[in-house]
């Protein structure tokens, strides 16, 4: 099957400032188009309809957004925990569960890597500056396309085969993985020890990155290659 025929589901974003809107930043859909896929926005909907929609896509992207509700991983909210959206959590965790159960190629970005981790029983740092001693600045004030710190990729991982041994990435988050979820392996870290990428050895393509490759693809070949390999995996039978 040609990549041009590959339908990719992108989970819609939602926040409390606009409770009646589900939306998607254009960079996500453009990155899928550039990689040869066909983007389809997935809004919140009843489980039966969601299952029907997911049965038609060949891969899914968990996009960035507000914080994951700490109740999802058994914690009370830290003072540094930010905005949460119960509707967004419900949608994201349903999509992640479907993708993992059906071995559907999954690319999890920023909030998405955190959802993936929690879906598999992991936990999060609710606020990096307050909970990680000696942490780098992970919420940059530089343009989104600009890489502000390096990550080291673990050898012999799918991600390192795509992106190489090290990479300078953008950084637009204040939460991060604390305890890895079941079945996930470390794929990249920042110099302060913050986990920057994970992947599943139990699925054909389930990769989570803490940075935003969709904002970097015009300037970073590794970001473009990540989307290309994801769509390629989705196209495979």
Active site residues: 110, 212, 214
Q: Extract the tokens encoding 21.
A: 């809107």
Triad 151, 154, 159: Cα angle to 5°: 85
Nearest-angstrom CA–CA distance, 188 and 150: 10
Nearest-angstrom CA–CA distance, 44 and 167: 34
Is residue 150 exposed (0-12), middle (13-18) or buried (19+ Cβ within 10 Å)?
middle
DSSP three-state, residue 77: coil
Return the bridge partners of 184, or none: 200
* All residues at 6 or more sequence positions from 113 whose CB lies less than 8 Å from its CB, including other chains: 62, 177, 197, 198, 208, 209, 210
Triad 95, 77, 214: Cα angle to 5°: 40
Triad 128, 119, 86: Cα angle to 5°: 75
Total residues belonging to the chain: 237
């Amino acid at each position: 099957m040609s990549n041009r025929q590959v339908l990719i589901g992108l989970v819609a974003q939602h926040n409390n400032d606009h409770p009646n809107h589900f939306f998607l930043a254009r960079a996500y859909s453009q990155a899928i188009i550039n990689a040869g896929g066909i983007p389809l926005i997935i809004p919140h909907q009843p489980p039966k309809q969601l299952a029907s929609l997911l049965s038609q896509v060949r891969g899914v992207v968990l996009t960035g957004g507000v914080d994951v509700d700490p109740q999802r991983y058994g914690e009370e909210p830290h003072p540094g925990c930010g905005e949460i959206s119960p509707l967004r959590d419900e949608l994201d965790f349903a999509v992640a569960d479907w993708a993992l159960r059906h071995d559907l190629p999954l690319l999890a970005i920023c909030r998405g890597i955190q959802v993936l981790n929690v879906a598999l029983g992991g936990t999060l740092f609710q606020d990096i500056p307050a909970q990680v001693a000696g942490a780098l600045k992970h919420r940059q004030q530089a343009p989104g396309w600009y890489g502000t710190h390096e990550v080291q990729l673990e050898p012999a991982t799918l991600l390192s085969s795509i992106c190489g041994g090290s990479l300078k990435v953008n950084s637009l988050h204040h939460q991060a993985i604390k305890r890895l979820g079941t079945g996930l392996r470390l794929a990249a870290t920042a110099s302060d020890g913050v986990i920057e990428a994970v992947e599943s050895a139990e699925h054909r393509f389930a990769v989570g990155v803490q940075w935003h490759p969709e904002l970097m693809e015009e300037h970073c070949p590794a970001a473009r290659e990540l989307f290309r390999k994801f769509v390629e995996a989705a196209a495979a039978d």
